[in-house]
Every structure is written in structure tokens, then in C-alpha cells.
């Protein structure tokens, strides 16, 4: 490989790298690049640069374009998610269910008719459920249970982490100040399927007739304010 001594520092540099060397190492040096190379050296440097860079064929470009479009399409499809279930939404009656509670009783959602209800579908091991309970739900409970709002949480049992048990749920309640009834979804995943849960927590605000007036997938978007707005609208204040 042809080399040439740098006219500034005297180091031997590959011909094709000399111009870059001068530009990067001696930016203030007064070297005329036009005269630094002979015509033959310039031709040799260009040839070396061209040889070092791998060529890209027209066929290659076509295939790369096809692969790029295919991968982009898969990503867009996943993001758009046309296959995801939606579950019951605002204006629909919340599906009834009957489940065991963490204290061994049995509870149905229909037992909660005639009162506004906060229905919280969660999992003990879900980080977002833990922070929602600790940062928001316990304070909503403090302020709204005295105004007649009832709270019901249902553990989806094995949504994430280990399977929730009555003991872990009771511990969760004690740790997060959420001292209301916690139901446990059945092994047939009755609640999860009825509500087509896609993320925990999923929270519904129901009016006295069991109609959904607000729904939050994941943590409530504005925290306490989201609950307050939905419940105040129901309570008329």
C-alpha cells in the first residue's frame, strides 16, 4: 500500500488517508492540498478509497428495500394492534362476576349496585398496581368512601410474577393502605376474559346502575384528579 510522509509532522500515512490526516491532525497548518499530491498519487489514493469501500449492488438495494418495508410493516402492525380485544367501555354495563375474596367469602359485582363503584383489576406483583394503590387509591378511598363510593379490587392472580394467594393479597392491603374487599379471579380467568384485560391495573368507575362511566388502562392518566373528576361527576358535586 503506497504511503507518503506528512509534510507537517513527517509521519508516514497511507496515501488515501493523507488528506484526512492533514485535515484532522493539522487543521491550522497552511498546506495546499492541490499541490500536496502529484497527479499519480491523487489517482492512486482515489483508487484505494474506492477499493476499500464495499460495493452495493442494485439487486442488494432492492432486497434491502423489501426487508426494510417488511420489518417496518411488522412494527407498525404490532403498534397499531388490530387484533387486541377492547373489552367493555364507557356507557356499557360492567359484566357481572362472582368470585371468592381474599378473606374466604364470596362476592358478586351485582352486590355493589345502588352505589358508585371503583372497580380495580390488578395483580399483587405488578409494579404499576403497587404504586397506584400507594400513591393514589388509598387517598381516593379515604376521601370518597365516606361519600358512599364503594371499592372493589379483583386480583387477576397470575398476571405477572408468582400466583397471588389470599395471604399475599392481605399483605398487599396492609402494605398499601387499601383496606377494602379484594376478590380473586377464578382459575378459568372469568374476570380477565369478561373485561378483556390487557394491562394491570385496569380501573373502572361504575355508576349506581353498574354502567361504566370512566375507564383507565394502566395507571390513571392524571392520578388522583382522574378519580376525583369521575366520582365528583357521579356524586353531583
In the complex, the residues that contact another protein under the rule CB under 8 A are 49, 52-57, 59-61, 63-64, 67-68, 71-72, 74-75, 78-81, 83-85, 123, 125-128, 131, 156, 158-161, 189, 192, 196-201, 217-219, 221
Closer residue to another protein (CB): 18 or 150: 18
Identity of the residue, 89 or 221, whose beta carbon is nearer to another protein in the bound complex: 221
Q: State in angstroms the smallest separation of the CB of 103 from another protein.
A: 25
Alpha helices (H) in the chain, listed in sequence order = 15-25, 33-36, 39-52, 58-80, 127-132, 138-144, 166-176, 190-194, 224-235
Nearer Cβ to another protein (6/126): 126
The minimum distance between CB 145 and another protein, in angstroms, equals 25
3-class state of residue 119 by DSSP: strand
How far apart CA 163 and CA 42 sit, in angstroms, is 72
Cα–Cα distance, 57 to 54 (Å, whole number)? 10
Decide if 193 contacts 187 (C-beta within 8 A).
Answer: no
Q: Which of these, 213, 210, 28, 185, lies nearest to 121 by C-alpha position?
A: 185
| Cβ at position 69, least distance to another protein in Å | 11
Taking the least distance from each CB to another protein, the nearer of 140 and 216 is: 216
CB of 147 to another protein, least distance (A): 27
Amino acid at each position: 500500500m503506497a504511503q507518503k510522509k506528512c509534510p507537517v509532522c513527517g509521519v508516514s500515512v497511507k496515501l488515501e488517508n493523507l488528506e484526512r490526516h492533514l485535515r484532522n491532525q493539522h487543521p491550522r497548518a497552511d498546506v495546499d492540498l492541490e499541490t500536496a499530491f502529484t497527479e499519480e498519487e491523487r489517482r492512486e489514493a482515489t483508487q484505494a478509497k474506492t477499493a476499500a469501500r464495499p460495493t452495493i449492488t442494485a439487486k442488494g438495494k432492492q432486497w434491502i428495500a423489501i426487508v426494510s418495508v417488511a420489518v417496518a410493516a411488522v412494527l407498525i402492525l404490532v403498534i397499531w394492534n388490530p387484533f387486541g380485544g377492547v373489552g367493555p367501555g364507557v356507557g356499557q354495563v360492567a359484566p357481572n362476576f362472582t368470585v371468592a375474596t381474599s378473606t374466604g367469602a364470596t362476592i358478586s359485582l351485582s352486590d355493589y349496585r345502588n352505589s358508585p363503584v371503583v372497580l380495580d383489576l390488578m395483580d399483587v406483583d405488578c409494579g404499576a398496581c403497587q404504586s397506584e394503590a400507594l400513591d393514589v387509591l388509598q387517598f381516593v378511598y379515604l376521601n370518597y368512601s365516606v361519600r358512599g363510593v364503594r371499592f372493589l379490587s379483583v386480583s387477576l392472580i397470575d398476571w405477572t410474577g408468582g400466583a397471588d394467594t389470599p395471604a399475599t393479597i392481605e399483605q398487599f392491603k396492609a402494605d398499601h393502605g387499601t383496606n377494602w374487599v379484594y376478590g380473586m379471579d377464578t382459575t378459568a380467568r372469568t374476570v380477565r376474559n369478561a373485561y378483556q384485560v390487557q394491562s394491570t391495573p385496569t380501573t373502572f368507575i361504575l355508576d349506581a346502575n353498574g354502567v361504566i362511566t370512566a375507564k383507565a388502562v394502566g395507571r390513571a392518566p392524571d392520578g388522583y384528579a382522574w378519580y376525583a373528576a369521575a366520582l365528583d361527576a357521579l356524586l353531583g358535586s
